[in-house]
Amino acid sequence: MSILEVENITFSYGGEKLYQKASMRLFEGEHAVLVGPNGTGKTTLLKLLDKSISPDQGTISWIPNKKIGYLDQYAKINPNLLVKTYLYDAFLPLFEKEKEMERLYESLVIAPEKEHERILNWASTLGDQLIESDFYAIKSKVGNIIHGLGLTMDLLEEPIKHLSGGMRAKIILGKLLLEESDILLLDEPTNFLDVRHIEWLTKFLINYPKAFLVVSHHEEFLMDIANTVFALENGTITRYKGDYEYYLKERELRIEQQQKAFVSQQKFIQKTEEFIQKNITRAKTTKRAQSRRKMLAKIDKIVAPKHDKTYHFHFPLSSTTGKDVLSIENLEIGYLEPLLEPLNIDILKQEKAVITGKNGIGKSTFIKTILGIVPELGGSYRWIDTAKIAYFAQDSKFEDGLTPFQIVHHRYQHFTKKEVMSLLGNHGINFDMANRDINTLSGGEQTKVRLALLRHQKGNVLILDEPTNHLDVNAKEALKEALMSYEGTLILVSHEKEFYQDICDYEISLYDV
Burial of 55 (0-12, 13-18, 19+ CB in 10 A): buried
| C-beta neighbour count of 369 within 10 angstroms | 23
**What is the rounded CA–CA span in Å between residue 473 and residue 36?**
9
List alpha helices for 195-285, DSSP H.
195-206, 219-225, 244-279
CB 429 within 8 A of CB 448: yes
3-class DSSP state for residue 228? Answer: strand
The region that residue 184 occupies, defined by phi over 0 for left and psi between -120 and 50 for alpha, beta otherwise, is beta
| C-beta neighbour count of 312 within 10 angstroms | 14
- Which sign does the torsion angle of CA 50, 45, 465, 358 carry? positive
**What is the rounded CA–CA span in Å between residue 235 and residue 241?**
19
**What is the rounded CA–CA span in Å between residue 386 and residue 458?**
13
Per-residue pLDDT of the chain (513 residues; tens, 9 = 90+): 789 999 999 998 766 788 888 999 999 999 999 998 877 888 889 999 998 889 999 999 999 988 899 987 667 788 888 888 888 887 878 888 888 888 888 888 887 888 888 888 898 899 888 888 888 888 788 888 888 887 888 888 888 888 877 788 888 888 888 888 899 999 988 877 877 888 899 999 999 999 999 998 888 899 999 999 999 887 889 999 999 999 999 988 888 888 898 889 899 999 988 888 888 888 778 888 888 888 888 888 887 777 777 788 989 888 888 899 999 999 999 888 888 889 999 999 999 999 988 777 888 899 999 999 999 999 999 999 999 999 998 877 787 888 999 999 998 999 999 999 999 999 988 888 898 888 888 888 899 999 999 888 878 999 999 998 888 888 999 999 999 999 999 999 988 888 899 999 999 888 655
In eight-state DSSP terms, residue 82 is B
Write phi, then psi, for 297 (nearest 5 degrees): -70, -25
| Angle CA 427–432–437, to nearest 5 | 90
| Angle CA 151–499–512, to nearest 5 | 45
- Which sign does the torsion angle of CA 63, 65, 69, 75 carry? positive
3-class DSSP state for residue 454? Answer: helix
**What is the rounded CA–CA span in Å between residue 130 and residue 126?**
6
3-class DSSP state for residue 380? Answer: strand
Q: What is the dihedral of CA 136, 138, 139, 142, to 10 degrees?
A: 170
CB 126 within 8 A of CB 97: yes
- Which sign does the torsion angle of CA 75, 78, 80, 81 carry? negative
CB 177 within 8 A of CB 169: no
Q: Which helix (H) or strand (E) holds 482?
A: helix 473-485
